[in-house]
Structure 1
Amino acid sequence: MMTHRERMLATLRGEPTDRLPMVPRLDIWYKGNKAKGTLPDKYRNATLKEILLDLDVGYHTAIPDYNIYGDSLDIVDRALGLWGTDTLPWKHSFRNIKRNISYCGDTTKVEYITPYGNITTATVFDESMRKAGITISHVSEKAIKSVADYEAVGYIFENIEIQPNYEYLAEFKEYVGDLGVICGRAAQGSPMHEILHELMPYDQFFYAYYDHEEELKKLAGQMTPYYEQVLDVTIKSPADWIYSGANYDVQITWPAFFAGHILPYLSTAVDKAHAGGKFLMTHTDGENKSLLPYYSQAKFDIADSICPAPMTSHTLAEIRAAFDGQITIWGGIPAVSVLESSMSDYEFDKFIDDLFLQMGKGDHLILSIADTAPTAMKFSRLERIIKIAKEFGPVNP
């Protein structure tokens, strides 16, 4: 019998496996229910790894736990997309930048002092978020408020240095063992994507893209050395797969934007990862209508968190046909299907039976609930999906 790790790697290479790999993302479900005391009775005192072993499923490592860090100062730059957590393969430091940091309850405010003006940010991480199993704080004040902030933000990124941070990742790889592969989180899909996703509110970015496109391109250019440093350090880490880019959606990263500002960087990242002996994964968790052809052009290896209808417009069969065995799907099961508030038991059974028919031979597919198993998941539905996956039989591409 193959191990979960062997099964995932064989699936990625298009090789036969003894069964469909099932690697559900359960970290948020686990943390949320653990905090509320609502884990299933048999798992009341279990670790997440113990639950995975009992269910006989793989360990989902694509999304790092952003709340594992050595010092509170490690995470104060989160609003810039700079995480100082132990779970990432890189850490950052600043040259020529002074920060004023203040705390008010669950809110952290940071002021960055630069020769081109000061930049302020604020993040929130409260008890309700912790009880929900969330590990990513909310950015309540973005760094860029207007075009007047571009030079200061560009200066900040020009004065970032990236250092390797491999100790935790190496230990985690040993801990996970044969249960899965280890993903190393790099940055967003490109510097311009980082501006859109991390540094500005979406609506403000769209106006700026129309009114100040050249200024945005200049800022993206100033951020490019940082982006490349992060990618290079991540590729050299103990990670098996490199995670670069996330949160695409046809309305936010529309086709022309994706083609012009993400595709070139993502393609280069794929080439660099392959040259370093690593696979590249990107987090395709939104509405992928009209974006699928660009994914194929990028030639990345894994499309993580593919979420089909009814949460998006494409069926799983349509997405598989578009990828044509060139991209491995990690996901495929929409989160609403495991919620009683969204589907009755009858509707769930009918939906899951049809979903498995859409899998065809089952090649290039690692099953998971996309984006993640919700805390309110009906656990028996997960058990049923696991049972059907095991009964699917061997996969012969």
Structure 2
Amino acid sequence: MTIKERILATLKGEPTDALPFVPRLDIWYNANSRNGTLPAPYRHATLKEITDDLELGYHAIIPDFKDFINPEDGDLDVGIGIYHLKNHPYRLKLHNVRRTHQWTGDGILKVRYETPKGDITTTVVHNKEMKKNGITLYVIREHAIKSPQDYAAMAYIFENMEVIPDYSNYSQFQQEYIGDRGVAVALSAMWASPGHYLIKELMAFDTYYYEQYDNPEEMDAFIQQITPFCQKLFDAAINSPAEIILSGANYDASFTAPAMYEEYILPALRQQSEIAHSKGKFIATHTDGENTGLLELYKRSGFDLADSICPAPMTKISLEDTRRIFDGTCTIWGGIPSISVLEDSMDDVTFQRFIDQKFENLGRGDHLILSVADTVPPAAKFERILYLQKKAREFGPVMPSL
């Protein structure tokens, strides 16, 4: 089987010839390539060349957040959670808003949006240290919505943000770059719903919960105003040639509390999953945080792929317990905590004992695409990635009960 065939068969609960192992290596590669510390045989190789040579598969769920359509100004809207990426299944065009920007200090970007309803300002950071560590995602230092007075201006911005379905770059990425190396997941948005968008990108953590308590009607009215924009993003993604659509990312019980998830996220993911299934497609969401209290809600959401499940000892829930709760209703992509591949966290004997025990507890191994969660860290010991690959190959074939 090809790696793509293994992934899709796993999602369908069908047999595979081996346990799929598709680690996310982009941050590891970016950091080591920049610092000249790639393993000797691959010192001048591209990431695709490395994964091809090792037959690892190419992880194509989370996009490269620096692969802009236009490198000159593609990052101007990241403060409102908008990345103008080359391989998106859509393009976004802002109308009737004056946008100005200024770079200051070490990778600090300040942006002002002037609208008839008021002005919005954001500040984001992508500095030298982040680049050194292979990080491509910006950090928001100043959020767009700071008080209820900002709702009208933000709503105006989204009402004037045109969503243009465009599958040319995505199709080329899917067919020519990824091919059978993996599955080219199409990103709908890094938030799963308009309510999730608020806490994920637009508001600081404390602002969100103060607003939920102090101004719930105003906040819900704003959510309704931006719903059409969010729906257009999903429509563009679900109608693309992609087999899997990524909707939402970065849940954690500490800020996407179960009650918040149930009210603002679950209904959207359930509806998106129903639409996807009617088209023979799958919905993935990036569940990389502390999932205590959330796993049963994930099951009720109906999505197909929990990407980047990070188990104990980095979180409170073991891989075994996560698989037991999901009970074949959702495929896990992940399962190996990133600290296990770091020498300063586990010595070689402890690592092998830990991994061997995990494999002994996998049962049939169905509905699992093995990966290091959330991502392979820059300081990972390369030999441990190869050991994980060896164990995955030896585990197969995977024969779920059909």
Same topology, TM > 0.5 = yes
2: distance between equivalents of 1:238 and 1:214? Answer: 39
2:268 is aligned with 1:269: no
TM-score by length of 1: 0.97
Query: Does the 8 Å CA contact 1:65/1:87 hold for their aligned counterparts?
Result: no
Displacement of 1:124 after TM fit? 1.7
- Residue number in structure 1 paired with 2:75: 75
2: distance between equivalents of 1:47 and 1:352? Answer: 28
- Residue number in structure 2 paired with 1:64: 63
Counterparts of 1:209-288 in structure 2, within 5 Å, are 209-288=212-291
Q: Percent identity?
A: 50
2:133 is aligned with 1:132: yes
What is the identity, as a one-letter code, of the residue corresponding to 2:369? I
Displacement of 1:260 after TM fit? 0.7
2: distance between equivalents of 1:86 and 1:335? Answer: 29
Give secondary structure in 2 for the equivalent of 1:88.
coil
- Residue number in structure 1 paired with 2:179: 177
Counterparts of 1:95-174 in structure 2, within 5 Å, are 95-105=95-105, 106-173=107-174, 174=176
- Residue number in structure 1 paired with 2:383: 380
What is the identity, as a one-letter code, of the residue corresponding to 1:333? I
What is the identity, as a one-letter code, of the residue corresponding to 1:149? D
Query: Does the 8 Å CA contact 1:247/1:286 hold for their aligned counterparts?
Result: yes
2:42 is aligned with 1:39: no
1: distance between equivalents of 2:333 and 2:159? Answer: 35
2: distance between equivalents of 1:176 and 1:96? Answer: 38
2: distance between equivalents of 1:291 and 1:359? Answer: 22
What is the identity, as a one-letter code, of the residue corresponding to 2:264? H
RMSD: 1.2
1: distance between equivalents of 2:152 and 2:85? Answer: 27
Give secondary structure in 2 for the equivalent of 1:181.
coil
Higher mean Cα deviation, 87-96 or 359-368? 87-96
Higher mean Cα deviation, 201-210 or 288-297? 201-210
- Per-residue deviation, residues 89-127 of structure 1 (Å, max 9, x unmatched): 122112321112222242221111112211001122222
Q: Which runs of 5+ in 2 are unaligned?
A: none
1: distance between equivalents of 2:66 and 2:248? Answer: 20
- Residue number in structure 1 paired with 2:307: 304
Query: Does the 8 Å CA contact 1:86/1:165 hold for their aligned counterparts?
Result: no
Higher mean Cα deviation, 339-348 or 29-38? 339-348
Displacement of 1:59 after TM fit? 0.9
Give secondary structure in 2 for the equivalent of 1:192.
helix
Give secondary structure in 2 for the equivalent of 1:75.
coil
- Per-residue deviation, residues 61-97 of structure 1 (Å, max 9, x unmatched): 0010111123222220111111111122122112321
Structure 1 moving runs of 4+ over 3 Å: none
2: distance between equivalents of 1:238 and 1:98? Answer: 34
- Residue number in structure 1 paired with 2:49: 50
Q: Which runs of 5+ in 1 are unaligned?
A: none
Counterparts of 1:3-14 in structure 2, within 5 Å, are 3-14=2-13
2: distance between equivalents of 1:293 and 1:314? Answer: 13
Give secondary structure in 1 for the equivalent of 2:146.
coil
- Residue number in structure 1 paired with 2:91: 91
Displacement of 1:277 after TM fit? 2.9
TM-score by length of 2: 0.96
Give secondary structure in 2 for the equivalent of 1:161.
strand
Query: Does the 8 Å CA contact 2:16/2:396 hold for their aligned counterparts?
Result: no
Give secondary structure in 1 for the equivalent of 2:293.
coil
2: distance between equivalents of 1:259 and 1:393? Answer: 37
Counterparts of 1:346-385 in structure 2, within 5 Å, are 346-385=349-388
1: distance between equivalents of 2:15 and 2:55? Answer: 19
Displacement of 1:154 after TM fit? 1.5
